[in-house]
A = this chain, B = another copy of it.
């Protein structure tokens, strides 16, 4: 599925959280398998994101329907997409109800990434790959690499 609400939540250990409605087919898959994958796709894959977001895994095999190539996971059985510039394999460590969604927390047990799209400082290199940003209401946008600014908080905090 395509998820809009997600965030890293701990460095040590590395934990990642994602908010999913319990009505979604994906929720049941994760609750049963106790693991999930997080795939970060480039802006060029926006149609794929919309396709995956607009179809139901209970009705169709999305991998087959949308011809989605997979790489092999190393620590789990979660789907790792070939189109992803980075992906996490997560083992479920918490599943909690907040309002109308479930908050699923996974420990990142393996990371896949295209080394060439990250800088030596391990930041995404926007000259090499563009991220997908979801604005809501079916609107997608990407970053403007020409606007990058480096603002050292140690310097600015002392102003």
Contact = CB atoms under 8 A, between A and B. Distances in A.
Contact of A8 (B5, B8, B145): B5
How many copies of the chain does the oligomer comprise? 2
B66 A159 contact: yes
Interface in A60-107: 65-66, 94, 98-101, 103, 105
A141 B140 contact: no
9 contacts: A5-B9, A9-B101, A9-B103, A47-B156, A50-B152, A51-B156, A98-B105, A126-B141, A142-B147
Given A7-B19, A133-B143, 14 more contacts: A9-B101, A10-B19, A10-B98, A13-B99, A51-B157, A52-B157, A53-B157, A54-B153, A123-B137, A126-B135, A126-B141, A135-B148, A139-B148, A140-B148
Interface of A: 2, 5-15, 17, 19, 43, 46-47, 49-56, 65-66, 94, 98-101, 103, 105, 119, 121-124, 126, 130, 133, 135-145, 147-159
